[in-house]
């Protein structure tokens, strides 16, 4: 019985670690996109966007400008975007994008590229 409990505890710990650790990947589905090179070149003051996180497109209700700071809603939680995570070059994709990194201390924002609020 003790071995079974240890095995279950070990499995639960591995599952918790995998949920809290963002795994970036390029699975090749956008290899022929004319914007692939541009996406690969994007970087903020926190480093290259696509190197550590997968980008997500956001709908208008899931981002806004509060005072002088952007914020995004991910998994039902509003997160203030650090100034050095904002990409200031023109948005060639047109959609608002965020590159979150989920870790044991919560979600941080690697890069954020605003679109047009409608």
To the question of pTM greater than 0.85 for the whole model, the response is: no
Q: Which superfamily, per CATH, for 24-113?
A: CheA-289, Domain 4 (2.40.50.180)
99 near 53, Cβ under 8 Å?
Answer: yes
Residue-level pLDDT, tens digit, the chain, 118 residues:
434 333 334 433 333 333 333 333 455 556 677 888 888 899 999 999 987 678 899 999 999 999 999 999 999 999 999 999 999 999 988 899 999 999 999 999 999 999 875 5
Whole-angstrom distance, CA of residue 77 vs CA of residue 112: 16
Longest dimension (CA), the chain: 60
Which residues on neighbouring strands pair with residue 86, listed in sequence order? 112
Q: Could you please report the per-residue DSSP string of 18-36?
A: HHHS------STTTT-TTH
- Domain regions of the chain by residue span: 24-113
């Amino acid at each position: 019985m003790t071995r079974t409990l240890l095995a279950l505890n070990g499995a639960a710990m591995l599952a918790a670690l995998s949920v809290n650790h963002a795994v970036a990947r390029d699975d090749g589905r956008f290899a022929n996109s004319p914007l692939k090179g541009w996406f690969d070149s994007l970087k903020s003051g926190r480093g290259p966007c696509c190197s550590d996180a997968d980008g997500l497109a956001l709908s208008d209700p899931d981002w806004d400008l509060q005072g002088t700071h952007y914020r995004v809603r991910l998994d039902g939680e509003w997160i203030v975007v650090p100034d050095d995570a904002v990409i200031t070059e023109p948005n060639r994709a047109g959609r608002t994008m965020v590159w979150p990194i989920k870790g044991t201390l919560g979600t941080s924002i690697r890069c954020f590229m605003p679109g047009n609020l409608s």
